[in-house]
């Protein structure tokens, strides 16, 4: 089991990241016509009008919350006077709120995709896989809140932060920090990392375009010359 743990949390993160980056680059280079969200709004607007904003607000809050929570060095929080227990409580509340918004939106999107005949006929296996994968990852994340409530000292949170920071700084001892972590945390981490691995092969690639749209704020004005 030590070898499996070392692979899943010491090596697999780099495999998933490589597939995520290289796969996205290759798809953008070779299949630009498939680089889109493939919206089904014209087929049925229904629950999409409410479900989509809830899902996107929730998932963006979770993404940036995880980035800030896991990758901010512990000494920064200590310098600011934020105790480990207080940070864990904030993470649990913020994660619970954003996770709940995301869950409600996601369930509405899944119900719409499966119940509407036109949308269901347009859906591919990859579309259903992504939705189910997101749902499982989200449910595991929300379940981890209850596991965290049993130890409010912030110790496990610090171990998870240390694992993430050692992974991104290419240190080989990362897996050892979460060897004793509860199973729900490990499953959530694995599902989250695997989401990056399947990312380039699905419509999720449109997320890149969303971040790329920020460059429009600094683009030059369009020049219109009269004849």
pLDDT value for 47: 80
Please tell me the predicted confidence (pLDDT) of residue 207. 87
The answer to whether 84 is a known ligand-binding residue is no
Neighbours of 103 (CB within 10 A): 19
Residue 151, annotated as binding a ligand = no
Question: Is 166 assigned to a binding site?
Answer: no
* 5 has binding-site annotation: no
- Residue 116 has a pLDDT of 83
pLDDT attached to residue 49: 85
pLDDT at 35: 78
pLDDT at res. 208: 87
For the chain, list the domains and their CATH numbers. 3-26+43-213 (1.20.950.20)
What is the pLDDT, as a whole number, of residue 142? 97
Residue numbers in the chain where pLDDT is lower than 50? none
Confidence (pLDDT) at 6: 95
């Amino acid at each position: 089991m030590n070898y499996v743990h070392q692979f899943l949390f010491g090596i697999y993160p780099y495999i998933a990241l490589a597939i995520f980056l290289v796969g996205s680059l290759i798809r953008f280079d070779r299949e630009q016509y498939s680089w889109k969200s493939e919206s089904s709004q014209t087929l049925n607007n229904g629950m999409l009008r409410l479900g989509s904003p809830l899902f996107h607000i929730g998932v963006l809050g979770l993404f940036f919350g995880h980035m800030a929570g896991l990758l901010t060095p512990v000494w920064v929080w200590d310098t600011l006077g934020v105790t480990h227990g207080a940070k864990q409580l904030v993470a649990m509340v913020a994660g619970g709120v954003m996770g709940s918004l995301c869950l409600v939106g996601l369930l509405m999107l899944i119900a719409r995709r499966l119940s509407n005949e036109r949308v269901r006929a347009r859906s591919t296996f990859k579309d259903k896989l992504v939705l189910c994968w997101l749902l499982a990852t989200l449910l595991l994340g929300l379940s981890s809140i209850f596991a965290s409530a049993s130890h409010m000292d912030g110790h496990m949170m610090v171990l998870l932060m240390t694992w993430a920071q050692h992974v991104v700084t290419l240190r080989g001892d990362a897996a050892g920090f979460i060897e004793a972590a509860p199973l729900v945390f490990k499953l959530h981490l694995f599902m989250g990392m695997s989401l990056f691995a399947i990312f380039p092969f699905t419509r999720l690639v449109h997320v890149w375009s969303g971040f790329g749209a920020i460059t429009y704020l600094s683009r030059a004005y369009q020049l219109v010359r009269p004849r």
